[in-house]
Amino acid sequence: MSKNKLTMSQKRNVARRVAKLCCNQDNDIPEIQGELGAVAEGTVVSRYGKTALVENNDSRILFRVYIRRTIESIVTGDKVLFRPPLTSDEKAFGLVETVLPRTALLSRPDYYDGLRPVAANISLIVTVTAKQPEFSTNIIDRYVAAAEYSKIPTLIVVNKHDLFTENEKGTLDRILSVYREIGYETMTVSASTGFGINSLKERLSQETSILAGQSGVGKSSILNVLIPGARAETGTVSENSNLGQHTTTGSRLYHFENGGVIIDSPGVREFALWHLSREDLTKCYREIASAAASCRFRDCRHKDDPGCAVREAVSQGRIADFRYENYHRILESMTDNMPDAYRTPGKRNSRK
């Protein structure tokens, strides 16, 4: 039995939409001529423009479906009410009637689209990073801040353990211990050698997680070792630019054998944070936010301000230098790649 039962108002909504369909008013979807089965509950496995791949929550059977034009937003992980096609014809499409309320939504800022939803109903963001294309705490902090802002827990996973020298492993341990002290879970793995993969699999077995991180860090490679049947396409890291090739182009949901769901997502080169205000970013740095409560001035910028408790915590080693520096670097770059529409005063903080 699926967890999401229909409320009375959802049932009424579906009945209204079905009646509308029978009157053939939905002429934006000409391929569907009423050959649809009864309404069922499903989960969006992946989305392709006006269509999506939806699985029936009870039978796990996959259906290609059209998305009604009236549905504002639908992403991988969304729970939906849909009507499957009645025939098993390859060209047959079903129809998504309604997107059910989301428990969580991960969005990322996109220069052209504004704030773009990536995946819904996620319980854990797996922030994947690696020595290659580049190991950077600044990049980790951006993903961690985005997770904090979305109010979704995050697990920091460092992949390509096999590429770190012994010295570098020591430095990596020190860096990861800083994150652990703040309260974040961390793991080190190698999709190539299998190092740490069993622990990761066990950790993710009861979650609805998403693999997020730069292109080329090995998200799809990790997925393929976690779920051997997944056969997700993997790319290479360019020797010239040392950048990933953006191999994965859309998010896709997979099941673990014993429960748990994992979504592979396309890498982004830079996770912009222009949708956050200065105060939002401060809240996303837990240890800075907690020290900032003791700053002498409420509008303290935590730089040279007198009585700044954050600077004091940095000088006493209670806040790591690199976290403090990243915080200021992110603040300074906050408006980089911000679409003009967001520069209008008042717009920025109104985004959720």
Residue 51 contact partner, candidates Mg ion, ligand GTP, Zn ion, none, CB within 5 to 8 A by sort of partner: none
Residue 215 binds ligand GTP (CB under 6 A): yes
d(C-alpha 344, C-alpha 247), whole Å: 35
Would you say 267 and 244 are in contact if contact means Cβ atoms under 8 Å apart?
yes
Q: Number of helices (H) and strands (E) in the chain: give both, helices first.
A: 11, 13
Site for ligand GTP in 250-279 (CB under 6 A): 266-267
Residue 246 binds ligand GTP (CB under 6 A): yes
Q: Of 45, 122, 237, 300, which lies in the binding site for ligand GTP, with binding defined by CB under 6 A? A: 237
Name residue 128's beta-bridge partners.
157
Choices 9-17, 245-253, 314-322, 343-351; region in contact with ligand GTP by CB under 6 A: 245-253
Residue 282 binds ligand GTP (CB under 6 A): no
- The interface mask with ligand GTP, positions 175-204, x = CB under 6 A, is ---------------xxx------------
Site for Mg ion in 196-255 (CB under 5 A): 219-220, 247-248
d(C-alpha 273, C-alpha 19), whole Å: 43
Give me 271's structure tokens: 């996770």
Choices 134-142, 219-227, 276-284, 314-322; region in contact with ligand GTP by CB under 6 A: 219-227
Phi-psi region of 28 (alpha: psi -120 to 50; beta: other; left: phi over 0): alpha
d(C-alpha 250, C-alpha 261), whole Å: 16
Please say which residue, 191 or 284, places its beta carbon nearer to ligand GTP: 191
The minimum distance between CB 223 and Mg ion, in angstroms, equals: 8
The C-alpha angle with vertex 107 and arms to 105 and 112, in degrees rounded to 5, equals 150
Binding-site ranges for ligand GTP (CB under 6 A): 159-160, 162-163, 190-192, 215-221, 234-237, 244-248, 266-267
